[in-house]
Structure 1
């Protein structure tokens, strides 16, 4: 029973409900790494990092449904760019690791593995 409670606690800590997302924010664009932090509003459930061909980086909070190339091309008036949206705090820096969701998944798998090892023996 204690292991199940531990598992629930770890999962709750990883997926905190009701906590606002934080993203790096340079909505007007920057040619350097953006260090300003923005607390996302209700409904803004993702962080955006958009790089145009001239080297300008746009970072901000965004709704995940707007993380679409065509929508972003219209919003930013950019014909060609690279972009990604992510859903972890401060995940949209120019140097952020794209593997953060994988790290979270591996942590959950490891906790489950060790929890069930104790139940089997």
Structure 2
């Protein structure tokens, strides 16, 4: 019985961050000192678009739209760019964050589960 309660707790805690909305930096800058924060929707990711000239555009975007052709349509005035999408709070600071809410939730719940067993 104790094991089944622990397993349920692990899965419950792992799913805590899956349905929540994230926050992303939202600005266009050259220096990388963006401080404006936007609240995204639950199915959004944080986008960073790097122009060839050095400007960086940061904003929320639907995660399903994180592909080159869709971003090119959203930024038609930018001829050459690279981009990155990420899915954790304020991860579009310039380097892509590998940790997301779900990964952190899984790690915390696994640690909690092992503590309950021992």
TM-score range, shorter chain: 0.7 to 0.9
Partner of 1:31 in structure 2? 30
8 A contact 1:44–1:61 mirrored in 2: no
Q: What's the TM-score, normalizing by structure 2?
A: 0.72
- Alignment length (residue pairs): 113
**C-alpha deviations, 1:38-71, integer Å up to 9, x for none?**
011x465111011011110000011122211112
Q: Which structure is higher in RCO with an 8 Å CA cutoff and minimum separation 6?
A: 2
Gap runs ≥5 in structure 1:
none
Is 1:21 equivalent to 2:22 in the alignment?
yes
Give the Cα–Cα distance (whole angstroms) in 2 for the partners of residues 62 and 91 of structure 1.
13
TM-score normalised by the chain length of structure 1: 0.71
**Is it true that 1:12 corresponds to 2:15 in the alignment?**
yes
Q: Secondary structure at the match of 2:15?
A: helix
Question: Does the 8 Å CA contact 1:48/1:84 hold for their aligned counterparts?
Answer: yes
User: C-alpha distance in 2, partners of 1:31/1:106?
Assistant: 31
- Runs (4+) off by over 6 Å: 116-119
Summarize deviations over 1:58-106 as a string: whole Å, max 9, x none.
Answer: 00011122211112112112221110111111111114x43224x9648
Q: Distance in 1 between matches of 2:38 and 2:115?
A: 42
